[in-house]
Every structure is written in C-alpha cells, then in structure tokens.
Structure 1
Amino acid sequence: MSDGPIVIIGAGVGGLVSAALLAAAGCDVLVVEAGSAPGGKLRAVDVGGVAIDGGPTVFTMPDIFEGIFNACGATMADHLTLRPANRLARHAWGTARLDLFADPAASEEAIGDFAGAKEARGYRIFRAEAKRLFDALDRPFLRGVKTDPITLGWRMGIKGFPDYLNLRAYTSMWRALGAYFGDPRLRQLFGRYATYCGSSPFACPATLMLISHVEANGVWLIEGGMHRLARALESLGRSVGARFRYHARVREIVVKRGQVAAIILSTGERLEARAVVCNADPAALGAGAFGQAARVATPRISPRRRSLSAMVWTAQAEATGFPLVRHSVFFSNDYAAEFAALAAGRLAQAPSVYLCAQDRDDDGARRGDGRERVQIIVNAPATGDGAPPTPAEIDLCTQRMLDSVSRAGLSLDLGASAVLTTPNDFEALFPSTGGALYGPASHGWAASFRRQGSRTAILGLYCAGGSTHPGAGVPMAALSGQLAVECLLRDRASMSRSRRTVMPGGTSTQPARTVVTG
C-alpha cells in the first residue's frame, strides 16, 4: 500500500463529502479537481458577471447534510443560511395552473379546487403510498451500501417483509399513477418526478414514486444559491484538514498488483495515493478515461442505459405575463410523445419546461428590479458524444422552449448574454457520459441494483457521486460520499493489524467560519 494521501478525484458533492468525513476521521486527504471551483454539477454559471445556478436548484433532506457537518464538529448554520419554502412549485398547462405546497392539506385542497374532490382523494392515497415506499427503503437501501434483491429483503427484516413484497418494482410509474389520478394533468405532474433521476415515467418502476415524498417532505432555499452548498462543503473539508488542488485533471489511475498506487495528472505529475475515491461518473472508469489499468474497476455502461441530459439556459431575463415563483413547470400537451422522442434520441417538438427564477421567493416576491436570474431546463437525450447541434438546431430548440412557456402566457427575453449548455457541453464537463446528468437511467425493476456501488474491482479504489448508489440528486450524492467513506475505513481497518478505530466525527477541530462567495 502506498504511503501517500487518500486522493479524491473530483470536487462534486460526493467527493466533497468524502473528503470532509475522511479528514475528520484523521486521514490525510487531497482533493484534485479539473475545474476551477468545487461543485461538479452543482455549479454556478457566469452570465454577464452574475453567478446563476446552472445545476440542481432544489434542496431537500437537510438532515443528511446536518449529520455531515456535525461529524466534522460543525453545524450547517455555521456555513449556510436556509429558509423552508411554503410553496413547492407552480405548474401550468396552458392557462390552467396548480401549486403544490409544503403543507399536504394545502396541496390536497389546491388539487380539489383544480380537478375535483375525487382527484384530491386520489392524491391523499398517492401521498400515503409514496411515504410508505420511502420509509420502507430509506434505511435499508438509500442509506446502506449497495445491495441485491435478496439481501435487501434480509435488511428490511420480518417487520418490513410486507413492504418488501410490495415495492411496486414491476409496474411502471405511469401505469401506477393511473390508479390514483383520472385527470391526465395530475398523472403528468407526478410522473415528472421520474425526471429527477433522469428517467422516463413510462419506463421506470413505480417504486420511484417515493421521490415525490422527498420533495413533499420539505424544500429549502439556500441564501445565495445552491452553489453555495459546494463552497460550504469545501470550507468544511478545509476546516478539518483536507487539501484541495484545482485545475488538476487526472490522466491516469496507477494500479499495481490489483491495487491503487498513484494518480498521474495531465501535466505528467505523479501523486502517490493510499486510496482513491473517484467522484467522476463510473462510466468514465469503464471507458478508459483514467487509463487502461483502471478500466476493470467498473463495467462499461452502454449508451442505451444512459439517463437524460438537458438543454439548459442560464440568463438574466426579462419575464412578463405569468406569475413566476421560484420553481415553475410548464407542461407539454403530449407527455407520451415527448418521452418517445427522447427515447429515440431526439428533442421533443413541444417540450415541457422547468424554470427556476432565482431572484424570487416561493411566493413569487422578487428581489430587485429589471432583469432577473433564471435557469431553464428542457430534457434532452444523452447524445453529447455525437455531432453538436447546429446554430439552426439551437435556434429551433430555443424557439420551441419559448413557445411552450408562451402557451401559459409567459413572455421571456433572455438577453444577449444568455448561456446555453447542451449535452455536448455536459459531455465535455463530464467525459464518457454523452452528457447524461444522472448516471444510468432507472428503467426496469433491476436498474437500481445495477448501479455502481462504493467498492470497485480494484482494491483501494472507490466510487462516489450521483451516478453511483444510492442514486441521482444532491442528497443521494452526499449519501454516496458517506458510503464510500464507510467502505474505505472498514477496508483499511480489516487490513491493518493495529485495527485502530477511526470513524467520521472523531475530531474536536473547530470549523472555520466563512463567507461563501460565488
């Protein structure tokens, strides 16, 4: 085993969490990141000198992060200012609108006013089922190391056996939603949660209805934007001794006798490594992006298994004609046609559109006047390793997006400084993915079990990030970092004759208080 530090490749959420927890456990930790700032997909885009969230915009499950900060002798409040959102999102179908709220009774009332008492009752039953699925899988699956169907049943135990037999894995989400909602608009709304992990509601299992419970259980707004979370996690890691190197792209993971020995940067510099946590998409390992020796670490992922990518506009926009709130969704008239086009590798002709108005609160109140910071997302196929879109294709896609929101009365002027990130751009940022933003798609009953776990086929090499177990999304990426640390420390202890016990949180080092900037 090398005498070097534990090297974290990539400063995404999974890597940042791994670095902080390992450093808190007394390990020598070095993070190497190809970019200029922490965050990975949790990034800010500079638009005319203004930082706009260009990645995830919804913050849920804060208990996971509070536990991470606590393990490092800090609290989230030392680094971040959070505020719970009362309104989760505004949804539009042409001129029809429906808001969902943090208060389930308010959501139920809104659904009743929107679609009738029968649909409100269906929502109540659906909400209970989504909660049941989440509660059944939270500890044994989401917060546990990667498992298989048989071991999952063992983890759930006798009390959980009825839930194990009814995980809804063999029914598609879309079909299951039909049992709760007769109104196709509501089926469309709750089917959209499949896209939170880059999947189609027509192909993913109904188990993923649990995602709606995560959001219904609370959404928080982070003062200054979601990208501040990455800065806070970096500051947390530094406070317990982790070191960071930016503009340091890894060219190769050196393997000797089946075990990690070092990394080599693109400059040719060699850094010895006691162990490595790779916070890149596992597809990059299997494709040889980190050298031939490391290819055996993970299976190669077929492009057919990729999750969705996206066309993402970040802009200082002028928005009129529609009462935007922080999170607004504009649905297409034909959801089946939209996902059929994506499955065929094409952009939808009439896409659904998500818009995050980052200068607005959840009630729609605005900060400042004039133009406002927006991020706009349209789902796209993960074909970013193919030919880039032509200027004419980009213009057409932009016009289709504008047409979709205009049906609800929203008029958008994106301005001359708007930035469009395409699947090809995401492929450049996250190589060997085709621009897929969520790892492999969660299609079919076995997809979640096929996801890459913390351990790889190479000793001392671990994976973390939203493309690994337990799944996509900021909280899941954080859990993946925790699980990678758990596996790494357990493996080190089993290989050490001294068997010194080291666990995250075993430090009294006080966190550095910091003002986070974009």
Structure 2
Amino acid sequence: MSTARVVVIGAGIGGLVTALELASNGVDVTVLERAGGPGGKLREVAPGGVAMDAGPTVFTMRWVFDELFDALGLRLADHLALQPVSVLARHAWRGDQRLDLFADIARSADAIGRFAGAAESRGYLAFCERARGIYRALEMPFLRGTRPTPLSLVRRAGWRGLPELLRISPFATLASELGRHFTDPRLRQLFGRYATYCGSSPFLAPATLMLVAHVEQDGVWLVDGGMHRIAQTLAALARQRGATLRFDAPVDEILVRGDAACGVRLADGETLAADAVVFNGDVAALTSGLLGGAVFDACAPAVPTSRSLSALTLNLLAPTDGFPLSRHTVFFADDPAREFDDIFRDRLLPASPTVYVCAQDRGGDEIGATPASGTAERLLLIVNAPPVGDLRPFTQEELARCEAQTFRTLSRCGLQVTRHPERTVRTTPQDFERLFPATGGALYGQASHGWAASFRRPGARSRLPGLFLAGGSVHPGPGVPMAALSGRQAAASVIARLTATGPQRSRRPSTSTSAPTATPGGTSTP
C-alpha cells in the first residue's frame, strides 16, 4: 500500500476528503486542481477587496465530519470553530409577513401558530415527525451506504427497518405531500424550498426530501472564518498527512491502458502514472469527452434536460436598511409554480424570483451581531436559474432585468440595499459553466426529479476499473456533507482495489486507446 500512487482530479470537498483518507493510509496521493486554490463550489470571492463565501452557506450533518476526524485520530473542534445557530432562517413575503424557524421545534411550532393558526402548527409538528421518520429510514441504507438500488435499499434496511422504509412516500412529490400537512400556501412554499437544496423543483422532486427538515433541526452551525475555511482546513490536513496538492494544474485526459485507468495527462503535457484515479468533478465532464475518449462511457451519460438548478448570484459589500436581516433570510416570490415553470420548463430566468440572502456579518440568533446603520456588510444573494450556460448564455439585458426584479422582491418586503458596481461580484450560469465545464452551470449534478433519480447517480466505482468518483454529482448527492461522504466512499473503494490488486506503477500509461486531446481545463470540481 505504501508504494501505491493515486491521482485525485479536483480539490472540492469530495476530492480533499478522498486525498486526506488515502494519505492517512499510506497512499502516495497527488491532487490536481485547475483553479488557484481548494474548495470547488465551496468558493470565496472578494468584492471591494473583502473576502466572503460565494457558495454553500450552512454547515449541517456535523456527524459526517466528526466521524471523519475521529477516523483520522483528530478532533473536529481542534481544527474548525463552529457556533450553533438558534434561528435557522427568517422568511418574508409581501409586506410585513415574516416567519422565523428555529432549531427548537417547539419554538418553530409556536411561531407558526402565531403566523398561520393552530391547525398549521399541528401540521408542522406532524411534518417534523414525518421528516424524522424518513431520515431514520434512509440514513443507514442510503446516506451511509454505497450506491443503492431499490432492491439493495430494502435489503440493507432489513425487516426491522422495512415498515419505516415503506412510509417514506417515494412516489409522491414533495409539493403534494406538503399539502397533506399545510393548508397555508406560504408554508407549502416555504417547506417546498427544501427541494432546491438539491437543485430541484418541489413540484417534481420526491417527498423523501422532507428529511431536510430533520437535518436542519438536528443542527446548523456557523464556521468561524466562513465556509471556505472547511476546504482550507482539509487541504492543510491532507498536506500534513503527505498528500501533494497542485493548483493551476488542469487535467486534459485520464489515461487508460488495457482495461484500467493508469494515470493522467495535464494540459501542459506532463504525464502522471497512477494505480488509481479519482475524479472529483461533475460526471458530465467525463461523459462529454472532456477528459478523453477512453473514459467517455465510464458512467451513464448525463442528460442536459435532467440537470439541476443553476443560479444567478450577487456578492455585495453594501449597507442595508428597512428589514431586520437574519444570517439566513428568504424573500419569497408571489407565484412559486410560475418560478419553477420559468426555470425548468421554459429555461428562462424567473420573472418573479425567490431571493435567498446570506448576511455574513450577522450571527445565527436573535441577538447576533448586526452592523451599525449605514455600515457596509457582506451579502450573498442567490436566485435560482436554469442550467443553460453552455446552450443559451443570457444577454446583459436579461440579466439586468432579473437583477432589477430581484431587488424589487427585496424592496417589496422592506429591505433596501445600497449597491455599488465596484463592490459587486456577479456569477451567472455561463460563469458557473466556465468554472465547472459540461454542466451548463448546474450546481447539484442531475436534478432529483422522480422517485428513481437518486438511484441514477453513479457510485464511487465507475464502469472503468481504476477510475473512481467523488463529489456532488455522485451518490449520496449534493451538499458539503454529502460530498464528504462521497469522498470517504471513494477512498474506501480505492483502498479495497489496491489491497486486492497491489500497486501497478511499473505499467507505464499509454494514450493509444484515448481520443484526441480534450478541451484544456476540462475538469470540474464541486
């Protein structure tokens, strides 16, 4: 094992976790990343010269990282400072209609009762119990398991877990199931938003996504220094354990000899031999030929019409007024059905968008830090958008119109933001496509539409021996903790192969079975 060599393509969370575990097991690991630093979608930008998160904004499923650090003989608390939040999010509709959800279920139920009535409060408690049951049914056989099939899911659950598994409503949509718990359309809209956490529409995604509610209630934390600190920490630990991390190092091609991956060729022509290759990127980059023809069919082809959501994001350094922002605030559109029709049916920027605002200088509770009046604060605004960055780039007029509507939505709820172009970083679906090629800007792999969508995600082992997969486009799905789980599964699969076959470094890579050079910089990192 100590002489085995593995190349990891992509320094997103999945790739970093893979490298960290492999290096800790004595494997010679090299991570190649086309960007200038680690993180992938867990990225950072600096409008006005001030660094802020520009990707995922919440830390959940802490147990994933506790278990990872425990396996490495470390304590998570010694490396990341985490603060639990009491307010999960503030939600706003037209005028002064506002609702806070709390980590404490009883407090949320009381708030919902005051907001929409006692019947809706009872519906919320039933909804939470249902979400807890779905999570309990799926954690071991699905989240922690290798890529499942419907049959293997039932087999893993066992006869004790089968009753709960049968109650998860896999064939119902999230929107329809929410109608059984809530009559208030605002609450159906609020909890339907959980589908967007995996880049999907609540009108098409399965009801199993109700489990997100339990994930949040189980704990949401703020990371001191921002979410990007997670990537920096994992990268530093991987180096300490002996991994080599190379940035500004795009991979052109995964090399194959015989019937197995045997190395990579970088854009500058350098070749690295390997006993195994881990691709930490969207599988669409493989199936589009961006990593060479020899790995073209290593996974089932990604279908552009099945892509998950993209986004139009604005990172701002700007003062705000008129609305008491929480750390996480959602300003809802008037017509949620039209919003998702615009995106998934018509492939347009939403005419009336829901806007998520992460106020990164504010705390996660009622008495958290609030910037003084007139003081610029770090804001991330996210509007859902169609993943068409490679098919139909939006014009400046379309983008400007969506931005104007975005701020009208905020203003309608009372929030005023004083913007300055020199303190703004805008990222469009076309920009996300450049960052993560072959995705069209989709940020979550394939959308979770229909009961079978989760079973179509590839697992850690590709169809090609020696080529392994990690990241948000593979099992168990998108999001920081899910990507970390995929990285752990990839590392375990690599170790199992190396243990079974032994290192093969004497076999020199060959490009004889590969197609002509793929597009430079063709790797993508979640």
Whether TM-score is above 0.5 comes out as yes
Matched, 1:409 2:414: yes
Deviations 1:288-317 (A, max 9, x none): 110111112112111111000000000101
- Name the SS for the 2:160 alignment partner: coil
CA displacement 1:225-262 (0-9 Å, x = unmatched): 10011001111111211110000000000011110111
Percent identity reads 52
The residue number in structure 1 matching 2:261 is 260
User: What is the rounded CA distance, in whole Å, between the counterparts of 1:26 and 1:496 in structure 2?
Assistant: 13
Matched, 1:37 2:37: yes
Task: Return the offset for 1:77.
Answer: 1.9
How far apart are 1:366 and its partner, in Å?
2.2
For 1:136, the aligned partner's letter is A
Instruction: Summarize deviations over 1:337-359 as a string: whole Å, max 9, x none.
Output: 11111112011111100000000
Aligned twin of 2:509? none
Kindly report the root-mean-square deviation, in angstroms, between the aligned alpha carbons of the 2 structures.
Answer: 1.5
Instruction: Report the counterpart of residue 365 of structure 1 in structure 2.
Output: 369
CA distance in 1, matches of 2:7, 2:40: 17
- The 8 Å contact of residues 24 and 71 in structure 1, kept in 2 or not, is answered as no
User: For the Cα contact (< 8 Å) 2:133–2:168, is it kept in 1?
Assistant: no
- Structure 2 residue identity aligned to 1:51: A
Q: Deviations over 1:394-417 (max 9, x none)?
A: 211110100111111001122222
Alpha-carbon separation, structure 2, partners of 1:366 and 1:467: 37
- Find the counterpart in structure 2 of residue 351 from structure 1: 353
C-alpha contact 2:7 2:274 (8 A) present in aligned 1: yes
1:4–1:271: 8 Å Cα contact kept in structure 2?
no
Going from structure 1 to structure 2, the CA distance change for 1:367 and 1:237 (only over 3 Å counts) comes to farther
For residues 276 and 413 of structure 1, what CA distance do their matches in structure 2 show?
A: 48
1:217 and 1:320 map into 2 onto residues whose CA distance is 32
The corresponding residue for 2:475 is 469
Which residue matches 2:514?
A: none
- Structure 2 distance, partners of 1:290, 1:246, is 18
1:365, distance to aligned residue in structure 2 (A): 2.3
Shift of 1:221: 0.4
CA contact (8 A) 2:52 2:378 kept: yes
Q: Which residue of 1 is the match for residue 521 of structure 2?
A: none
Aligned length: 497
Task: Say whether 1:90 aligns with 2:97.
Answer: no
Alignment of 1:62-461 (within 5 A): 62-94=62-94, 95-343=96-344, 344-362=346-364, 363=366, 364-366=368-370, 370-417=375-422, 418-461=424-467
**Which is further off, 367-376 or 290-299?**
367-376
Taking the aligned partners of 2:249 and 2:419, their CA distance within structure 1 comes to 34
After superposition, the C-alpha distances for 1:365-404 in whole angstroms (9 at most, x for unaligned) are 2257710000000000000102322222221111010011
TM-score of the superposed pair, with normalisation by structure 2: 0.93
Q: Which secondary structure does the structure 2 equivalent of 1:158 belong to?
A: helix
**What displacement does 1:65 show?**
0.7
Give 1:477-496 correspondences, 5 Å limit: 477-496=483-502
Q: Distance in 2 between matches of 1:7 and 1:306?
A: 28
- How far is 1:4 from its partner? 6.3
AA at the equivalent of 2:132: K
Which letter does structure 2 place at the counterpart of 1:390? T
Distance 1:496 1:432 in 2: 34
SS at match of 1:135: helix
Asked if the contact 2:154/2:162 (under 8 Å) is kept, the reply is yes
Following superposition, the deviation at residue 446 of structure 1 comes to 0.3
Shift of 1:495: 2.5
Q: Contact (CA 8 Å) 2:198, 2:479: kept in 1 or not?
A: yes
Which TM-score applies when normalising by structure 1? 0.94
| Contact 2:4/2:27 (<8 A) preserved | no
Quick one: distance in 2 between partners of 1:262 and 1:238? 21
State whether residues 285 and 295 of structure 1, in contact with CA within 8 Å, keep that contact through their aligned partners in structure 2.
yes
Provide the rounded CA distance (Å) in 2 between the counterparts of 1:420 and 1:467.
Answer: 24
Please give the secondary structure, in 1, of the residue aligned with 2:468: strand
C-alpha distance in 2, partners of 1:134/1:4?
A: 38
Q: Which runs of 5+ in 1 are unaligned?
A: 498-518
Contact 2:85 2:220 in 1 (8 A): yes
String of CA shifts for 1:462-500, please: whole Å, max 9, x gaps. 000011100111110000001111111122223249xxx
Mapped to 1, the partners of 2:291 and 2:354 lie a distance apart of: 37
Cα distance in structure 1, aligned partners of 2:249 and 2:360: 31
Structure 2 unmatched runs, 5+: 504-526
Tell me how far apart the structure 1 counterparts of residues 441 and 139 of structure 2 sit (CA, whole Å).
29
State the shift of 1:63 in Å: 1.3
- Cα distance in 2 between the residues matched to 1:143 and 1:367: 41
Alpha-carbon distance in 2 for matches of 1:188, 1:263: 46
Q: Residue 91 of structure 2 contacts residue 98 of structure 2 at CA under 8 Å; is this kept in 1?
A: yes
